[in-house]
Structure 1
């Protein structure tokens, strides 16, 4: 089938993307770094082909962004803002592939730009930000493949998928779901071409350096994923359907329902519709997070744009749509962007806890610095600061030097591999623990709590109330203790 003779609405769509970029930029300096961003800043100083919990692309992009724009919350988020703006354009292109006219393309772009999911990942520098753009790119190319039947699109799909695999392995999920859907409802002819293995080989070649790194380190990312599923799998399954609705926006539900029906009625696009429920089943079976399936919902929203525009035959319906988009924008911004004072953040934490994870890191470091002064000066040269998660370690790496603090250590994720205390550091140990753990403290001698973290605004985030515990020393040399202290999740 030839491409529909519809021009791309370049100016208005780019205008929507530009407005999104302006909003994200204006708010990017509010609150502070997210715990994951602090981890990425540290990872950017230890560039490698892989990490315990992720491939290398996001730390590399953080290195580029902060190298150009500065190691600030605003500087680290510039590239993620641009990626989110590009995602809006790609979603409008997807709508065009489904036959959407110029008005419908703009509607698809607006719906994407005001959706809670895109705003949430667009505000932060995260693997999910670039993963969403990659998913939309793969979706656009796959839709072109199905619509035209031209197997050469497999090579482009392989190229984008290979790059995506250097950021996150999740891109295999929509590809697997689409493959299953094509096998079930067709058109199976797109699978009977040598361009398909060519695309697979290209994707594998691009992903190989990271895969070799993972293999050389006994596939730690599988251990991390398994631990997350074991810890959170039940909760993820219970909350899956509610979060599918809430994280995108309840006001967008009619668009993706209409989009599903629109795709199902056309044979070539039917596998795109079927891929979403298949992906949901896969994510539920794995106990994965609900947002793993959200990108395909944006594809359905794009598909629903033209039917909705066709429905706007009366003034009342146009008003109803406008009100829905305004409410979507307002609620999405409220729950995903730092528009509230930090002191009011608890209002949104039940829906989006990531808001709270951007608050209180300088205060945590200040509390650690106060506790550090309780160590006699002659002993400080042999003393160690040990944190129990990468957020704490990242914050101390970022803010610690201005307080005169030494390099922190952590047994969590890749921090465990980057550095560890030497056996010569046999002095006091200052532990930073979210919750005191007696079995963990058993590795140290005479431990006592000497401080607590208070973010100063009452934000009920993960680090509020974190205990700072001072121990006299270790029960064995660090070289003996360190391997057993590792935490993958």
Structure 2
């Protein structure tokens, strides 16, 4: 028998997080990825070269219902983050935490760095985190009750999550490996497991078919990211795991790991985390790929943490305040724009929300009004293209193109486009400019923060020497 659910206080904590995210959702502006999702949402498909279709679909729904503004776009993300807090509390309940322990789990999740950070924006990680928590909840219920029917709920959730991001296979694989090592292996000997696998495959099938029909472009993207960042990801894996959740939550999830190990029946849940970390390190994945399972350990550590809090109330209050404040400063748009450079070295995503309207204005000023109808704007990445698609019409700018990710598939310049070309390059590329005669730099983008776009060069060239249809495949970039 598990304790009663502390519904009212847990919902208050989730509601408080939702209120904070809502209050801050209109600050700074769209994130680079959000600008991409806005365009992808206008071009709904069963897949894209770098992701499945769920996040662009959610972006489309949110903007249709609440308006195409940063605040309107982020409503569903805010609700998903509040739901994640509730699921973390439910996990604590499954591990035997009483009502105060469940509230501690909810508070720890709400003030951590990662959850509010991904909840503030529309990102695949936002919905991935909620899916991982639900999968963990169903897996824990399966182990606690020995009711194999939970495999169906787990499979359905995994299938939906696969339509958002393929990373969901990692925690499931880690759990299966952990079950084989420490048991109970009997839960694997069940037709319900096969039913769950079939259900997951059926839900994920449309995107798998799309990837097959397009020669598995997402594998190309993933391989490029791993080869480009793999060594750095391995070096920074452990430090970022601690920093991204919050250093002061380290004792909570360590206590959770120890508690699960002592309880025996959920040992596989505890072991799944180091198994997952080993897998991510081997492939050179990013640190946040394994981070969601730390929330499961936080849920398990909530009960002993509450016991500690009752003996050290003043210290606990100070730690909570410090954790909430540092998480907000480094993951939420609370600082004035002039101070954001302070946090960019730790969390570059803060800077990725600033400067897109400035970029659009700079582009508009670089193109004479007499040439706007005939100029082709070629951007180097999907953030630039997305920003110009979103803000360009207000400046009467022509459609911006990009050979980056799925933008390369959506549109390319027509072969009849023989007017001037404006290249946006983070760094000038002689190889790119060799396709266009008479290139000369017009200006350099000056952003209010030193993000990736700061210093982008605007270069004016003549039309390419070969037809756009011939040139376009050569320009394509997957990462």
SS at 1:227 equivalent:
helix
Structure 1 residue 381: deviation in Å?
3.5
Displacement, 1:242? 0.4
- Aligned pairs for 1:171-320 within 5 A: 171-314=168-311, 317-320=312-315
- Tell me what 2:40 maps to: 43
Name 2:466's counterpart in structure 1.
Answer: 476
Show CA shifts across 1:279-325 (max 9, x none): 000011111110011100010000000112223452xx122222111
Return the match for 2:379 from 387, 390, 401: 387
1:347 to 334, 342, 364: 342
Distance 1:313 1:297 in 2: 24
State the partner residue of 1:16.
13
The answer to whether 1:408 aligns with 2:400 is yes
Q: Which residue of 1 aligns with 2:325?
A: 330
Deviations 1:340-372 (A, max 9, x none): 000110000111000000000000011111111
Q: C-alpha distance in 2, partners of 1:175/1:338?
A: 33
- 1:451 and 2:446 correspond: no
Contact 2:226–2:285, Cα closer than 8 Å, also in 1: yes
Q: Is the 8 A contact 1:93 1:105 kept in 2?
A: yes
Instruction: Return 5+ residue gaps in structure 1 as ranges.
Output: none
Q: Is the 8 A contact 1:382 1:424 kept in 2?
A: no
2:159 pairs with 1:162:
yes
Q: Indicate if the aligned counterparts of 1:454 and 1:465 stay in contact, CA closer than 8 A.
A: yes
CA–CA distance in structure 2, aligned partners of residues 170 and 289 of structure 1: 11
Distance in 2 (CA, whole Å) between partners of 1:421 and 1:367 is 22
SS of 2:466 mapped into structure 1: coil
Structure 2 SS opposite 1:92: helix
Structure 1 stretches of at least 4 aligned residues deviating more than 6 Å after TM superposition? none
Aligned residues of 2:372 and 2:398 also touching (Cα < 8 A): no
Q: 1:443, CA displacement in angstroms?
A: 1.2
In 2: Cα distance, 1:323 partner to 1:277 partner: 30
2: distance between equivalents of 1:92 and 1:380? 55
| Contact 2:372–2:397, Cα closer than 8 Å, also in 1 | no
In structure 2, stretches of 5+ residues that fail to align are none
- Contact kept? 1:380, 1:427, Cα under 8 Å: no
Q: TM-score, normalised by structure 2?
A: 0.99
What is the TM-score normalised by the length of structure 1? 0.97
Cα deviation, residue 453, structure 1: 1.0
How many residue pairs were aligned?
A: 479
1:159-194 superposed Cα distances (whole Å, 9 cap, x missing partner): 000000000000000000000000000000000000
* Corresponding position: 1:130 with 2:127: yes
Looking at structure 2, the residues matched to 311 and 122 of structure 1 have their Cα atoms a distance apart, in angstroms, of 29
Return the offset for 1:484: 1.1
- Over residues 415-448 of structure 1, what are the superposed CA-to-partner deviations in whole Å (9 max), with x where a residue is unaligned? 0000001110012110011110111111111111
- Which runs of structure 2 are paired with 1:53-64 in the superposition (5 Å)? 53-64=50-61
- SS of equivalent residue, structure 1 residue 411: coil
Distance 1:29 1:383 in 2: 33
TM-superposition CA deviations, 1:239-282 (whole Å, max 9, x none) = 00000000000000000000000001122100011000000000
* Aligned mates of 1:313, 1:58 — CA distance in 2: 42
Among 432, 436, 445, the residue aligned to 1:440: 432
Cα distance between partner residues in 2 of 1:464 and 1:235? 23
SS where residue 223 of structure 2 aligns?
Answer: helix
**Residue 420 (1) aligns with residue 423 (2):** no
Partner of 1:33: 30
Alignment check: 8 A CA contact 1:141 1:153 kept: yes
RMSD (Å), alpha carbons: 0.9
Indicate yes or no: 2:358 matched with 1:358. Answer: no
The offset of 1:380, in angstroms, is: 4.2
